[in-house]
């Protein structure tokens, strides 16, 4: 038993650090993850830290990207690099502002459907990036 284990809000007994399966759902998609946390004797008895929640947040992000036909952080980065744009330039040319692409590529936020579609168009037609740059600076 951990020295600083929290007490269960259900039983009042010390909890144990561990991992339990958790099924996350978004629209018609589901994913079962190994969720870290502090757990008690009963299945519904658990406490999750901010660090623990990053595991479920990442799973929800994957489900949302798939269900809503958005772009993953890796796809956003691949297209931006293909277009030879810095993150800052991409934020001005494509949209979102100077720090948007750092957030898209780190998975901190998900690109909108409009940004995803614009990136897909530029991925298919990279010759249009110069025109996009001109329009962004006009």
Does residue 3 carry a pLDDT above 90? no
The third-level CATH classification (topology) of the domain covering 73-137 is 434 Repressor (Amino-terminal Domain) (1.10.260)
Looking at the DSSP bridge assignments, the partners of residue 36 are 19
pLDDT value, residue 2? 61
The third-level CATH classification (topology) of the domain covering 16-67 is Ubiquitin-like (UB roll) (3.10.20)
Q: Between these two residues, 138 and 99, which has the higher pLDDT value?
A: 99
pTM of the full predicted structure?
A: 0.80
Does residue 57 carry a pLDDT above 70? yes
Give the list of residues 6+ apart from residue 14 with CB closer than 8 angstroms, or none: 1, 2, 5, 6, 7, 8
- 85: tokens are 């744009």
Equal CATH topology for 16-67 and 73-137: no
Domain ranges of the chain: 16-67, 73-137
């Amino acid at each position: 038993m951990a020295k600083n284990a929290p007490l269960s809000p259900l039983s009042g007994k010390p909890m144990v650090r561990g991992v339990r399966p958790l099924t996350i759902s978004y629209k018609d998609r589901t994913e079962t993850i190994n969720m870290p946390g502090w757990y008690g004797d009963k299945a519904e008895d658990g406490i999750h830290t901010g660090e623990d929640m990053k595991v479920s947040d990442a799973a929800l992000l994957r489900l949302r990207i798939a269900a809503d036909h958005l772009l993953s952080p890796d796809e956003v980065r691949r297209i931006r690099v293909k277009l030879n744009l810095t993150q800052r330039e991409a934020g001005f040319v494509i949209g979102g502002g100077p720090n948007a692409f750092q957030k898209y590529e780190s998975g901190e936020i998900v690109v909108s459907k409009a940004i995803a579609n614009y990136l897909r168009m530029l991925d298919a037609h990279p010759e249009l990036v110069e025109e996009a740059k001109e329009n962004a600076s006009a």
